[in-house]
Amino acid sequence: RMLLPIVLLGLSSSAFSAGFTLDPEPEMRWVEIQAKDKYERSKAASLGLTIEFVRTGSVWGFATRTTVQRLQQAGFRVTSDSEPEMGRGGHQGDWKDFPPEDSQFHNYAEAEALLKDLAARHSDVARLHSIGKTVEGRNVYALQINSSEDALERGQSNKPGVVFMGAHHAREHLSVEVPLLYAQYLLDHRQDETVARLIDTRDIWVIPMVNPDGAEFDIATGRYRLWRKNRRNNGNNVYGVDLNRNYDWGWGTSGTSRSPSSDVFAGPSAFSEPETQAIKTFVDQRPNLGTMLSYHSFGELVLYPWSDVYDPIPNGQDLATFKKMAETMGSWNKYEAQQSSDLYTSSGDTGDWAYGKHGIFAFTFELSPSSDFGGGFYPGAKMIEKAFNANLKPMLYLTDLADNPHRAQTASVKGMLKNYVEPGLPVEAFYERHPIELFTHEN
């Protein structure tokens, strides 16, 4: 999204008055600095600033006191520097989960229960696998949807594959809900002509919570903590690695920090974290994967490689296909399509690694809202239905194109989608058909 008038990628200071709290790393600050273009933004990110939103001529983000000093020494003008901990008007009481009004969001146990329920009720076409363990010992779950019993047993298939992921970043809870609902949608609509064809001819994977430890930590006190990273113990009461900076593609070269206290700490080495190791092993063992989508929030963007450099993808055919697919999907969900580094560079990104190492046509979606004025990282349960409905066609499209993404250049989109079920009201139907305890929380 070009920066006129505003592009917001995170939570601004106005949102702190809405009752969010932050468990900051030591001496974490909420700062604004002057940065006129993507080159200055990239330089600031490389110095350790976690860029959360971008205005014309400036950026806001989190930084330690050391990072603030480093930015100033590099010539950046710091125009605002404040404590991030506000916590006014927060949810009170002993609630140790999502706030009551956000009870439709799934915590780890509820996501696990839902995935097991889907696999049990549709055991002929769905199987739940654990592809690894987190720092704190939780399963990283992957739901496979495939009509072949042998493929379900092996967890592998020769059919063209697609994978949808959520919650690399802990506080981005909406990124869990959209892929979860897609799995439910496919299985509940499995008799529909187009969905039946996709289940029969594709190997579909949903990994809704890559970072369950961080997601649980973000809600553990009943007040959102704005937590981003995983829960690696870095020592000295400092925790976490940014999982979306930990992949082995340009690792540690731009838009990351070597400081463990930074929100964009890339880790001690590429794939240092069990969560990213799980994704690496999963992808390495499945050469059938043709398309991938990693959900994040927020900003309403459709992003494609490269993220770590400003140069475009050198393969002209691939670049044209990425642009065509991104623009097509953006026309449906009304998100802005662009190369990821048009915002600022960041290395160790999931999509860059998946495409660079494996040739997978990998996209990153920044979900709604477009800004913190719509709720930022915590837009409320009302956003679940909106985000899913906006992204149903793009998900079906990526599933369809897993066999050959270059078909996007020549195939009639209208023809490809003529049998796709329109979004309608799948979320309401979802809640009506499932036990209410899956979507509410106990004190």
Task: Just list the catalytic residues.
Answer: 366
State the chain's maximal CA–CA distance in angstroms.
Answer: 62
The secondary structure of 387-420 as a DSSP string is HHHHHHHHHHHHHHGGG-TTHHHHS-HHHHHTTP
Residue 21 tokens read as: 């709290």
**Residues contacting residue 435 through CB under 8 Å, at least 6 positions apart:** none
3-class DSSP state for residue 230? coil
**302 - beta bridge partners?**
337, 365
Residue 26 tokens read as: 């030591």
CB 307 within 8 A of CB 341: yes
CB 351 within 8 A of CB 304: yes
Which candidate, 21, 16, 25, places its Cα nearest to that of 65? 25
Residue 171 tokens read as: 């506080």
Which candidate, 435, 430, 351, places its Cα nearest to that of 388? 430
